[in-house]
Structures are given as structure tokens and as C-alpha cells.
Structure 1
Amino acid sequence: MPAVVGAIKVISVSSSSIFNVGDVHTMRPESFAKTFAGGGSFNTGNGIHIDLNRSTTYVNDSDVVDQSITD
């Protein structure tokens, strides 16, 4: 069934988003990221006390592509 679309105002479209107007069969956004963080980096909550006296994070990633995304 055809879609009837009125006025559209696009403010921003980021790299991992989809902008579609009208009918669509499949929408499949793809995004990937690699995150390196030291100890205690992703802790959340109230009143957290973290003591990482000589914490060090070493990253040695010599390959360029870890996993490619293909259709």
C-alpha cells in the first residue's frame, strides 16, 4: 500500500541511523565499535568507592580489521 507523507524536517542523521520515507520491506542498520577501558571504567551507581592502586591497561591490536561486515 502506498504511503502518504506530509512535510519532513531532518535535523540530524548519524552514522548508524536510518532515514526512510514511505514503504519499506527491511531496514538493517549496521554499526560496530571496539572499546578499551581500564579497571573500574564502567562502574555506575551511588556511593561507589574504587581503589585501583596501580591499574594499567595495555592494548596491542596489530590487525587492521577484526571482523568485516558484508551483505
Structure 2
Amino acid sequence: MPAKVGAVKVINVSSSGIFNIGDVYSMNPESSAKTYAGGGSFNSGDGIRVNLANSTTYVYDPDQVDQSITS
């Protein structure tokens, strides 16, 4: 059902975001990212203590593509 839309001010749309005004059948944002994190990463909270001594994160990736994005 069509709708009337008044003034719209867009400040920012992220690189993997979608902005649409009007009728649409399907919207599919697509993005890809690879994150390397060593032991003790992504911890959150109060009073966390992590002791890893010597920790190494290997980032060698010979295949270059893990998951392709196609439309």
C-alpha cells in the first residue's frame, strides 16, 4: 500500500546499510569482515584479569577468500 512520506533528512548510512523510502519487495544488505583476535580478546566486564604469558595469533591465510558475496 503506497504511503505519503514527508521531509526526510539522512545524516549517515553505514557502508553495509540500506536506506529506502517507498515500496520495496526485498532488501538484502551484504557485507563481509575478517577479525583476528588472540587469547583473552573480546573480554568485557569489571575486574577481569587475563594472564596469557606469551600468546601468539597467526594471521596467515593462504586461500585469500573465505566466503564470497554474490548477488
Q: What's the counterpart of residue 23 of structure 2?
A: 23
Q: What's the counterpart of residue 33 of structure 1?
A: 33
Using CA pairs below 8 Å that are at least 6 residues apart, which structure has the higher relative contact order? 2
TM-score of the aligned structures, taking structure 1 as reference length: 0.89
Q: What's the counterpart of residue 46 of structure 1?
A: 46
Superimposed CA distance per residue, residues 6-53 of structure 1 (whole angstroms, 9 cap, x where no aligned partner): 101110111110110111111111111111011101111111110011
TM superposition shift of 1:63: 2.2
Question: Once superposed, what is the RMSD of the aligned Cα atoms?
Answer: 1.1
Percent pairwise identity = 70
Which 5+ residue runs of structure 1 have no aligned equivalent? Answer: none
Which 5+ residue runs of structure 2 have no aligned equivalent? Answer: none
Counterpart residue identity of residue 69, structure 2: I
Runs of 4+ in 1 over 6 A off after TM superposition: none
Q: What's the counterpart of residue 70 of structure 1?
A: 70
* Whole-Å separation in 2 of the counterparts to 1:70 and 1:52: 40
Counterpart residue identity of residue 49, structure 1: R
TM-score of the aligned structures, taking structure 2 as reference length: 0.89
